[in-house]
């Protein structure tokens, strides 16, 4: 069976962009090497776009915008249904390429990265069945219309998942899009563009241009014919996008960094609360913006928490991501690996108690960007490891004496993306959840809900993704007075 990389190379996709329904060669000579983080070896190189390529894609999206917006919801839903089905049909292709380009363990790619990405398309499809694009309010009609051409900028850590989280609702709303995936993990975006093409989405509705953030990302943000920008990335990148977009007063939605708390209340069963908390903090090698990397626990139970957390980390198998026995693969790229090593060293220097892990690779792994699952305890709120997003498998355990103090620690951050609360008494857990300044709070590790709006308070961004609210970001509201008699 041909591999996804062989397929992309033989088809010539890596040298092309998907614009106006066709695979076209770029106009520039810049390229990027895609590195397999497990081997540290280059496995492919892709063409990078420039201003001319971006203008081509935006023009195609602009030309298709009116006809696509006028396409009925039922037809848009039919096409999205086919996109959903094809992603699942090609799940193994997607999983293999995600493992190769960003290090996700193959079992995790199969059970999380790809199926959860498909869910965003399903939700977008289902929302079209009942959404009130035209509603009556007295004699006034409230119309919700596609905003137009949308520039979508997606990250390297959950690449396919974030593509579908943006493309699905944008297309459902009737918008056309230009996608710029991360140049560090773009291969899955080629496979996604093939799905779009094979489904028969009209030319110009979806366009893909690879490129550097400083070129294609900045160009999309400032482009006068782009009506909206949606970016998932670092807070630094979000600030740059917002500044560039301000020139044309376009809508901007930002899903940025996080330093999410996990408040474990005194009445919680520690044996049930701690292990899933460690697992959640370390999912996807800790490379999740909403990962609960601050575990806030009763001081009286700190020793028990440390023991349970250590035992959980010890059960994680870090290694070759293509092995089905592996639970955690390498960090996605060298720059992030170096950042994690630096922050672990800072934690030690700050005087936090190193419970397990530390700097360097796990034993027996001399090649690859593998990081040791690391847990600190007795972490103080003012420490850098408690304040800065590390974006790796590093957990800070922070003790408290009262629930009021636990809430203060939870909110003592510039971020507000995700949060968790664990407790036996649901009323108390709900009360604590209501006090946490975060766009999403999970009580007692509930199942993931693709219909739950996701987004940030404070420096974690603005706007929402997922569910109805995610689609509404791509809609303008028009009042038509006198519409009804």
Q: Active-site residue numbers?
A: 255
Residues 6 or more apart whose CB falls under 8 angstroms from that of 3 comprise 96
Q: For the chain, what is the total number of helices (H) and then of strands (E)?
A: 17, 20
Question: CA-to-CA distance for 436 and 419, rounded, in angstroms?
Answer: 8
* SS3 category, 343: helix
Find, among 149, 199, 172, the residue nearest to 72 by Cα: 172
Per DSSP, 287 falls in state -
- Between strands 294-298 and 353-356, the pairing is unpaired
- CA distances to 164, 217, 337, 352 from 167, rounded to whole Å, are 5, 16, 29, 42
What radius of gyration do the chain's Cα atoms show? 23
Contact (Cβ atoms closer than 8 angstroms) between residue 18 and residue 35: no
DSSP bridge pairs for 151: 178, 229
DSSP state for residue 447 in the 8-state scheme: P
Contact 256, 289 (CB under 8 A): yes
CB 152 within 8 A of CB 180: yes
Contact, 150 vs 250, CB < 8 A?
no
How far, in Å, CA of 18 to CA of 197, rounded?
Answer: 9
Cα(409)–Cα(432) distance, rounded to whole angstroms? 12
Q: Cα(251)–Cα(477) distance, rounded to whole angstroms? A: 13
Q: What's the CA gap between 324 and 304, in Å, rounded?
A: 31
Contact by Cβ (8 Å): 116, 214? no
Cα separations in angstroms, 245 against 63, 221, 249: 21, 5, 6
3-class secondary-structure state, position 3:
coil
Length of the chain counted residue by residue? 485
Alpha-helical regions (H) of 71-113 = 73-89, 91-102, 106-108
Q: Which residues pair with 374 in a beta bridge?
A: 394
Instruction: For residues 296 and 263, give the distance between their C-alpha atoms in angstroms, rounded to a whole number.
Output: 5
d(CA 471, CA 167): 10
CA atoms within 13 A on the CB side of 241: 31
Let me know: does 278 contact 292? Beta carbons within 8 Å.
no
- A 10 A CB-CB count for 485 gives 4
């Amino acid at each position: 069976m041909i591999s996804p990389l062989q397929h992309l190379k033989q088809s010539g996709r890596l040298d092309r962009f998907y614009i106006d329904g066709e695979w076209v060669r770029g106009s520039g000579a810049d390229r990027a090497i895609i590195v397999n983080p497990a081997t540290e070896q280059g496995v492919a190189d892709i063409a990078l776009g420039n201003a001319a390529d971006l203008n081509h894609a935006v023009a195609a999206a602009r030309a298709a915008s009116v006809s696509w917006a006028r396409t009925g919801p039922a037809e848009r839903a039919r096409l999205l249904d086919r996109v959903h089905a094809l992603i699942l049909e090609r799940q193994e292709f997607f999983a293999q390429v995600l493992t190769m380009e960003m290090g996700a363990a193959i079992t995790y790619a199969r059970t999380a990265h790809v199926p959860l990405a498909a869910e965003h398309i399903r939700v977008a499809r289902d929302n079209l069945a009942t959404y009130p694009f035209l509603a009556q309010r007295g004699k006034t009609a409230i119309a919700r219309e596609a905003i137009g051409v949308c520039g979508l900028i997606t990250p390297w850590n959950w690449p396919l998942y974030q593509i579908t989280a943006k493309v699905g609702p944008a297309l459902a709303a009737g918008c056309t899009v230009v996608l710029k995936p991360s140049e560090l993990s773009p291969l899955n975006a080629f496979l996604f563009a093939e799905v779009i093409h094979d489904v028969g989405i009209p030319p110009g509705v979806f366009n893909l241009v690879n490129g550097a953030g400083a070129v294609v990302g900045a160009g999309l943000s400032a482009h006068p014919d782009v009506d909206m920008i949606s970016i998932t990335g670092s807070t630094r990148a979000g600030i740059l996008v917002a500044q560039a977009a301000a020139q044309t007063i376009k809508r901007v939605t930002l899903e940025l960094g996080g330093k999410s708390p996990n408040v474990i209340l005194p009445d919680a069963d520690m044996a049930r609360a701690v292990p899933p908390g460690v697992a959640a903090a370390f999912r996807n090698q800790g490379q999740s913006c909403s990962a609960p990397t601050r575990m806030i626990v009763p001081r009286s139970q700190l020793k028990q928490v440390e023991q349970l957390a250590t035992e959980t980390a010890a059960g994680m198998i870090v290694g070759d991501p293509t092995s089905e026995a592996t639970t955690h693969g390498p960090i996605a790229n060298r720059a992030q690996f170096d950042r994690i090593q630096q922050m672990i060293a800072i934690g030690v220097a700050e005087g936090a108690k190193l419970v397990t892990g530390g700097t360097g690779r796990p034993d027996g792994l001399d090649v690859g960007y593998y990081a040791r699952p690391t847990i600190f305890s007795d972490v103080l709120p003012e420490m850098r490891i408690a304040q800065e997003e590390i974006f790796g498998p590093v957990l800070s355990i922070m003790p408290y004496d009262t629930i009021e103090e636990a809430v203060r620690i939870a909110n003592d951050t510039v971020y507000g993306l995700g949060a968790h609360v664990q407790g036996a008494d649901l009323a108390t857990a709900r009360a604590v959840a209501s006090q946490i300044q975060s766009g999403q709070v999970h009580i007692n590790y509930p199942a993931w809900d693709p219909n739950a709006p996701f987004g940030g308070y404070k420096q974690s961004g603005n706007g929402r993704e997922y569910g109805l609210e995610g689609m509404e970001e791509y809609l303008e509201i028009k009042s038509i007075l006198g519409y009804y008699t």
